[in-house]
Amino acid sequence: MNLIEIKNVCVRYGPIEALCSITLEVAAGDYVAIVGPNGSGKTTLLKAILNLLPPAEGSILLYGTDCRHFTDWNKIGYVPQVSRNLHKGFPATVREIVASGLLAAKKFPRRHSDSDADSVQKAMETVGIPDLADRLIDKLSGGQQQRVYLARAMVNNPELLMLDEPTAAIDPATREQFYETLSTLNRTCGKTIVLISHDAGHVGHYANKLAYLDRHLVFFGGFDQFCTSPEMTRRFGTHVQHVICSQHCPAQEKQ
């Protein structure tokens, strides 16, 4: 079953075409990495899928429903691109932030039930932050904050997780742990994952599909195909393509 179907989508910011002719599908259980250079339209595509930016052309279906009319947002967990200082001085605890993710499953008047506390606890345990529950968000490190946002996205036990450069502000070791967590969620819990990253070589090892954007869809397929794609060779050159495709990957080493 396809959770996301994107057909000939173009997105424009006024007269500027940010994305055009994008067609791709994400099936249940996929781990799709969307990569590309700065300004290639990765975040734009994610926002269009989440109905935050209306496409100028084409259609986007979520679970078979046009994203403009989609209402089952509790099926989707979203981890936005957040800079570390965005919430400086915000007085919310980790528990309060993770609980806010539950609002997607609620109708007006939105109130938390007794069982919500268990869901929040479970989400925090899943991403390894139960001991941070009563800490203020702006007192946490970048890596801890990313785990909080992942827990918030996970709290509804969604089928589909969408993450926008979740490791942009964190160190390599923490980034590795974060990718490991995502990989476990995909393989063990069956979560479908759509992840935006600059680092094709790194996420390519974890993902089963890779979409390379540069305002249009340059490549969509498996990482092995990416490494042998003539289009990618033309774009990067043989040497760079080799460097990307032979990057160190602890996940593979463990296997």
Partner 1 sequence: MNTLFEAIQYSFVQRALISGVFLGCGCAFLGVFLVLRRLSLIGDGLAHVGLAAVGLGLFLNMSPIWVSIPLVMFASLWILWLSDKADVYADAAIGLVSAVSVAAGITLASVGKGFNVDLFSFLFGSILSISQTEVILSVILSLIVIGTVCLFYHELFAIAFEEEYAHVLGIPVEKINKILILCTALTVSLGIRIVGTMLISSLIIFPAVTALQVAKGFRAAMVLAAILSVLSVVSGVFISYLADLPTGATIVLVNFALFVLVFFYKKIGCCQS
Give the pairing type, strands 2-13 and 57-62: antiparallel
Give 161's contacts (C-beta < 8 A, 6+ positions apart).
76, 77, 78, 79, 153, 154, 182, 185, 191, 192, 193, 194
**How many residues sit in the footprint of partner 1 (CB under 8 A)?**
28
- Binding mask 83-122 toward partner 1 (x if CB under 8 A, else -) reads ----x-xxxxx--xx--xx-xx-x--xxxx----------
Question: What span, in angstroms and rounded, lies between the C-alpha atoms of 59 and 24?
Answer: 11
Q: Which of residues 36-75 bind partner 1 (CB under 8 A)?
A: 50-52, 71, 73
Question: What span, in angstroms and rounded, lies between the C-alpha atoms of 196 and 227?
Answer: 19
102 or 232: CB nearest partner 1:
102
Give φ, ψ of 120 to 5 degrees.
-65, -45
Q: Decide if residue 194 touches partner 1 (CB under 8 A).
A: no
Q: Near partner 1 by CB under 8 A, which window of 78-86, 184-192, 224-232, 241-249?
A: 78-86
Least spacing, CB of residue 201 vs partner 1, in Å: 29
7 or 112: CB nearest partner 1:
112
- Binding mask 4-43 toward partner 1 (x if CB under 8 A, else -) reads ----------------------------------------
Question: What span, in angstroms and rounded, lies between the C-alpha atoms of 69 and 71?
Answer: 6
Q: Which of residues 126-165 bind partner 1 (CB under 8 A)?
A: 134, 136
Half-sphere exposure for 37 (CA within 13 Å, toward CB): 6
Question: What span, in angstroms and rounded, lies between the C-alpha atoms of 124 and 139?
Answer: 17
162 or 207: CB nearest partner 1:
162
Q: Decide if residue 166 touches partner 1 (CB under 8 A).
A: no
120 or 200: CB nearest partner 1:
120
Least spacing, CB of residue 72 vs partner 1, in Å: 9
End-to-end CA distance of the chain, in Å? 29
Q: What is the DSSP string of 174-222?
A: HHHHHHHHHHHHHHTS--EEEEEES-HHHHHHH-SEEEEESSSEEEEE-
Task: List residues binding partner 1 (CB under 8 A).
Answer: 50-52, 71, 73, 76, 78, 80, 82, 87, 89-93, 96-97, 100-101, 103-104, 106, 109-112, 134, 136
